[in-house]
């Protein structure tokens, strides 16, 4: 990957809009732009200024444009950057990009601007990934987590961990230099304590992934229950409260995902398949597998029942058959507005079933309480404000590999020689470094940046 | 329509992209932006500068952005304009726009930025319309015509015409002042000459609409002929030559419009329906109406025949039944590579059918000649370089009404009194003024700008 070429791409979405922004980055960005610009001499203008003029291919004017100049290193990529704001016609945009390529630029690959920002030290790797997350963010929480990561919160914590490990490693290395003398520079008890501390923090980060991922991707939430339990009424009750921020999600999963409910900035995708609706009737029948698949893909299951229409045995049987590891289940008794419910619920409680919430979907009673429960089931006690959340599967894997390497260090500490210890520590350092980009390979970079959109 | 409000809208297309541009315009644009911007004090920065910082709602950072400042009147609308370049997430864009609205901006209506540019004298009406045409342009020719109009070519010519008319009108007005004395300030012969001259120019503009419209909208082109005439081969031959600029047009018309062929910057939409393919068999059958409808919506009909498989009588019958007013027909004899063709074609010529082009679609012989013929049939001799083309149906109607008014002036010149003459001239002035915006009504403006996209 060389930085000596000047790259060009459309930075705004495809489609017709008022304006389109074409972005150039590289050593020749300003001179190439200047060679097609009729107006002021762009090479003589200061950074962070905007200039009106036209883009011309010889005598043929392609468009009237505004050109924004960013003289490196005061730019996103730390290279010279030019942004051409033209009329938002696909034809005009294509013509200008073609012309810039003719004048010496080349088409940027996906994520190449951000890759350059990373290679030039403007961003570390987890910050670069945060840019992609920020662009993809679709809720307040996912945007805040990505922004926090972009602003370095995540990287800083990892860097601090890594520094501690480096210190550890250097002491062990020192021992290797004096291997014949059998000295111990690294106090093993202190090192154990340090590794345990590091593992504690890494463990927290690993555990934060469940929440981080929920925030980034949204939480799949199935509403299940026997027919006439009031599931549709509940869906409406949940959605109507905040209809303004309810949205339909189009696309391939449309047939299973029905509505998105945003609670305190987190998206819950309420899934309400026909299969689930009939789940209790069909539990031992043909549809059961498909129903269970939907549930197994969910993080949260809201089981709704009407106490007047179900026995405690049927209820317990349903709960048992629906319960899956890794899925939170919320038990909700509906129709609390009906007078006969309260005595039945007392009976249920007497039989040992107490951990349920009683609501009336129809009368909108205790719906906010239910929402709080839904939110809490996803968030638990983890979201306190500025904490670091892991949202990226690549980071999770690197953290898990770090943890494994550190456990190897711990278990081998008293039995293996310093060179084996050193190797395990170096591996842990390697995996941590992969997150911030202190350690990179071309494959890794290719893998990360190819998922970006072109123009970023 | 008041300009004292500050308006805001997304100026880039909807969808996920690297960046999105949010545009503010109005007296408070800079102070509103400044109230949510963490960074330099934007109210103290010079025009045409760019500033990095973040957009914050109280303590909550929404995004890191670049803010471009345009201090009125040095802006598109001549008002204060701020463009916020943020990460291209729909959620972030919506959050920022909502925040700006909370701080005093209001959502811009479609075309409202350009409407303000017009109301503030930055553009005349035909230039404002050219902005919309430019955004919609999809070929070199349509982009050049729109750009020419934006750069004032069209308006200037109309303005010159209108000035001549105003001069005429003022002389007649002068006669009204001296009506009792029965003087003639306006020499009637000179005035006739002048009006004839104006009508000649207006006539050219009116006639340019067919071409202007073809350039703007593309030319619907039907390929017809009996089965096995080689129509599909011809379609491939026409398209393969310049496959790079062939494109599929998606959407509602997809089933009838097959491929777009770009010849010298003009788009020809090649229509090749099954109906047309069977046209000669079905001419007197049930499918005929639908087939004829397609043809009647076309500007160009390429009738392809295989001389070895058709008699001169059948051929003349086909031609007669397919010929419609307003549709150019090109006769093309295919399969010139086959030896038996040339003698048959000689016979056809002897029978008086001579105005056809002989090609071989299969061997790609004379395809460029056919393309030239297709191009010429649309362009005729009109496209010489910098000429003014009318592309807008509104302009066409105003020009036609101008022409009618001027013809009334001419016909009444010797018979009616000066006050009637004056009235007809004023009407002609009115219609011409409608094009450039010298004469406007709210309805007219509403009608024009509501067709713009939001954010322009």
- ipTM score assigned to the predicted complex: 0.73
The SS3 of residue B217 is helix
Element (H, E) at A380: none
Q: Which of B20, B83, B143 sits opposite A89 (nearest CB)?
A: B143
The CA–CA distances, whole Å, from A222 to A232, A368, A374, B95, B197 equal: 12, 18, 11, 29, 77
pLDDT at B251: 29
Whether A312 contacts A353, CB under 8 Å: yes
Task: Kindly list the residues from chain A whose CB atom is less than 8 angstroms away from the CB atom of residue B20.
Answer: 12-13
Q: Helix H segments across B151-270? A: 153-177, 188-217, 231-240
Q: Which of A60, A90, A147 sits opposite B63 (nearest CB)?
A: A147
Inside any domain, residue B449: no
Inside any domain, residue A456: no
pLDDT level of residue A330 (50, 70, 90 thresholds): very high
Place of tokens 């405690």: A312
Q: Helix H segments across B125-187? A: 125-136, 140-150, 153-177
Inside any domain, residue A29: yes
Rounded mean pLDDT for each run of 10 residues along chain B, 456 residues in total: 83 88 97 97 97 94 96 95 94 94 93 92 87 85 82 75 82 78 75 84 84 82 82 80 36 47 84 51 50 77 88 86 84 89 85 87 90 83 62 87 90 80 87 82 79 78
Say if residue B288 is in the same domain as residue B433. Answer: no
Say if residue A226 is in the same domain as residue A93. Answer: no
Say if residue A231 is in the same domain as residue A358. Answer: yes
Say if residue B119 is in the same domain as residue B148. Answer: no
pLDDT at B114: 93
A441, HSE (Cβ side, Cα atoms, 13 Å): 5
Sheet of strand A257-263: strand arrangement: A257-263, A266-271, A219-225, A300-305, A328-333, A356-358
Compare all CA atoms of chain A with the CA of B13 and give the residue at the minimum distance. A17
Q: Which of A19, A139, A147 sits opposite B12 (nearest CB)?
A: A19
Last residue of a domain, one of A92, A123, A154: A123
Query: Is-above-0.80 flag for pTM?
Result: no
Q: Inspect the interface and report whether the beta carbons of B143 and A455 lie closer than 8 Å.
A: no
Cα separation of A215 and A211, whole Å? 6
Inside any domain, residue B177: yes
Q: Inspect the interface and report whether the beta carbons of A19 and B15 lie closer than 8 Å.
A: no
Cα separation of B90 and B19, whole Å? 10
State both tokens at B364.
């790609």
Identify which of A120-124, A431-435, B189-193 has the greatest average pLDDT.
A120-124
State both tokens at A85.
């704001």
Last residue of a domain, one of A84, A106, A123: A123
Say if residue A234 is in the same domain as residue A370. Answer: yes
State both tokens at B132.
């919309």
Q: Inspect the interface and report whether the beta carbons of B13 and A88 lie closer than 8 Å.
A: yes
pLDDT at B355: 87
Give the burial class of B65: count Cβ atoms within 10 A of its Cβ; 0-12 exposed, 13-18 middle, 19 or more buried.
buried
- Among the listed residues B72, B62, B70, the one whose alpha carbon sits nearest the alpha carbon of residue B97: B62
Q: Does position A220 have pLDDT exceeding 80, yes or no?
A: yes
Tell whether the torsion through CA atoms of A34, A40, A43 and A48 is positive or negative.
negative
Section A319-340 average pLDDT: 86
Inside any domain, residue B320: yes
Identify which of A175-189, A302-316, B406-420 has the greatest average pLDDT.
A302-316
pLDDT at A252: 29
State both tokens at A151.
């602003």
Say if residue B114 is in the same domain as residue B134. Answer: no
- Among the listed residues A239, A147, A19, A375, the one whose alpha carbon sits nearest the alpha carbon of residue B95: A147
Cα separation of A145 and A266, whole Å? 11
Compare all CA atoms of chain B with the CA of A139 and give the residue at the minimum distance. B91
Inside any domain, residue B364: yes
Contacts of B446 (CB under 8 A, 6+ apart): none
Contacts of A251 (CB under 8 A, 6+ apart): none
State the smallest CA–CA distance between residue A393 and chain B in angstroms.
21
Whether B86 contacts B55, CB under 8 Å: yes
Say if residue B95 is in the same domain as residue B52. Answer: yes
Residue A2 DSSP class: -
Identify which of A124-138, A270-284, B99-113, B338-352 has the greatest average pLDDT.
B99-113
CATH number at B103 reads: 3.30.1360.120
Which of B70, B84, B87 should we substitute to test contact with A (largest number of A Cβ atoms within 10 Å)? B87
- Give the model confidence (pLDDT) of B405-449 as tens digits: 989 988 888 777 778 888 888 888 888 888 878 777 787 788 778
Say if residue B296 is in the same domain as residue B241. Answer: yes
Inside any domain, residue A452: no
DSSP string, A156-207: HHHHHHHHHHHHHHHHHHHHHHTGGGT---S-HHHHHHHHHHHHHHHHHHHH
Q: Does position A216 have pLDDT exceeding 50, yes or no?
A: yes
Inside any domain, residue A21: yes
Say if residue A410 is in the same domain as residue A338. Answer: no
Contacts of A159 (CB under 8 A, 6+ apart): A436
Number of domains in chain A: 3
CATH number at B200 reads: 1.20.120.430
- Give the model confidence (pLDDT) of A62-105 as tens digits: 999 999 999 999 999 999 999 999 999 888 999 999 999 999 99
End-to-end Cα spacing for chain A: 16
Say if residue B70 is in the same domain as residue B155. Answer: no
Task: Kindly list the residues from chain A whose CB atom is less than 8 angstroms away from the CB atom of residue B123.
Answer: none
State the smallest CA–CA distance between residue B273 and chain A in angstroms.
27
The CA–CA distances, whole Å, from A31 to A47, A100, A392 equal: 14, 11, 39
Task: Kindly list the residues from chain B whose CB atom is less than 8 angstroms away from the CB atom of residue A90.
Answer: 138
CATH number at A352 reads: 3.40.50.300
Contacts of B161 (CB under 8 A, 6+ apart): B198, B201, B202, B432
Give me the domain span that covers residue A303: 220-379
Cα separation of A87 and A95, whole Å? 12
Section A395-409 average pLDDT: 90
Give the burial class of B27: count Cβ atoms within 10 A of its Cβ; 0-12 exposed, 13-18 middle, 19 or more buried.
middle
Percent of chain A exceeding pLDDT 70 equals 88
More confident residue, B411 or A244: B411
- Give the model confidence (pLDDT) of A190-202 as tens digits: 888 888 888 888 8
Element (H, E) at B21: strand B19-25
Whether B406 contacts B199, CB under 8 Å: yes
Strand partners, B266: B263
Compare all CA atoms of chain A with the CA of B112 and give the residue at the minimum distance. A18
Last residue of a domain, one of B123, B144, B160: B123
Q: Inspect the interface and report whether the beta carbons of A143 and B85 lie closer than 8 Å.
A: no
pLDDT at A222: 86
| Rg over CA atoms, chain B | 29
Q: Inspect the interface and report whether the beta carbons of B134 and A19 lie closer than 8 Å.
A: no
One-letter-per-residue 3-state SS of A275-321: HHHCHHHHCCCCCHHHHHHHHHCCCEEEEEECHHHCCHHHHHHHHHH
* Phi-psi domain of A300 (left: phi exceeds 0; alpha: psi -120 through 50; beta: other): beta
Cα separation of A155 and A347, whole Å? 54
Say if residue A238 is in the same domain as residue A91. Answer: no
Say if residue B312 is in the same domain as residue B225. Answer: yes
């Amino acid at each position: 990957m060389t930085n000596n070429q000047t790259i060009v791409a459309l930075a705004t979405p495809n489609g017709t809009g008022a304006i389109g922004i074409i972005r150039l980055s590289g050593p020749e960005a300003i001179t190439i732009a200047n060679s097609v610009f009729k107006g002021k001499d762009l090479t003589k203008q200061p950074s962070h200024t905007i200039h009106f003029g036209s883009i011309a291919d010889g005598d043929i004017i392609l468009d009237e444009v505004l050109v924004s100049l960013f003289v490196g290193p005061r730019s996103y990529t730390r290279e010279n950057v030019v942004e051409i704001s033209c009329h938002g016609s696909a034809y005009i945009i294509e013509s200008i990009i073609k012309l810039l390529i003719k004048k010496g630029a080349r088409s940027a690959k996906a994520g190449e601007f951000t890759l350059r920002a990373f290679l030039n030290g403007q961003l570390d790797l987890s910050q670069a990934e945060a840019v992609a997350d920020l662009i993809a963010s679709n809720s307040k929480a996912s945007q805040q987590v990505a922004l926090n990561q972009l602003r370095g919160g995540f990287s800083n914590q990892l860097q601090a961990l890594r520094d501690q490990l480096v210190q550890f490693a250097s002491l062990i290395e020192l021992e290797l230099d004096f291997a014949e003398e059998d000295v111990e520079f690294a106090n093993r008890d202190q090192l154990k304590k340090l590794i345990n501390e590091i593992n504690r923090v890494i463990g927290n980060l690993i555990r934060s992934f469940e929440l981080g991922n929920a925030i980034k991707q949204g939480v799949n939430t199935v509403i299940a229950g026997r027919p006439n339990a009031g599931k549709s009424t509940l869906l409406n009750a949940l959605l109507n409260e905040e209809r303004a921020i309810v949205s339909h999600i189009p696309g391939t999963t449309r047939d299973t995902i029905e509505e998105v409910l945003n609670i305190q900035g987190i998206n819950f995708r309420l899934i309400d398949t026909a299969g689930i609706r009939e789940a209790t009737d069909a539990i031992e029948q043909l549809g059961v597998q498909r129903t269970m698949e939907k549930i197994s893909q969910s993080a949260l299951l809201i089981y709704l029942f009407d106490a007047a229409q179900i026995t405690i045995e049927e209820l317990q049987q349903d709960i048992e058959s629906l319960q899956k590891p890794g899925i939170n289940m919320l038990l909700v008794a509906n129709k609390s507005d009906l007078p006969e419910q309260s005595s039945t619920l007392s009976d249920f409680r007497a039989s040992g079933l107490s951990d349920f919430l009683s609501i009336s979907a129809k009368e909108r009673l205790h719906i906010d309480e239910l929402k709080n429960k839904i939110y809490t089931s996803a968030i638990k006690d983890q979201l306190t404000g500025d904490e670091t959340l892991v949202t990226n599967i690549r980071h999770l894997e690197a953290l898990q590999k770090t943890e494994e390497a550190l456990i190897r260090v711990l278990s081998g500490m008293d039995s293996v020689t310093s060179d084996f210890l050193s190797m395990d520590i170096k591996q842990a350092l390697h995996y941590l470094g992969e997150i911030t980009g202190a350690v990179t390979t071309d494959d890794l970079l290719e893998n990360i940046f190819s998922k970006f959109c072109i123009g970023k």
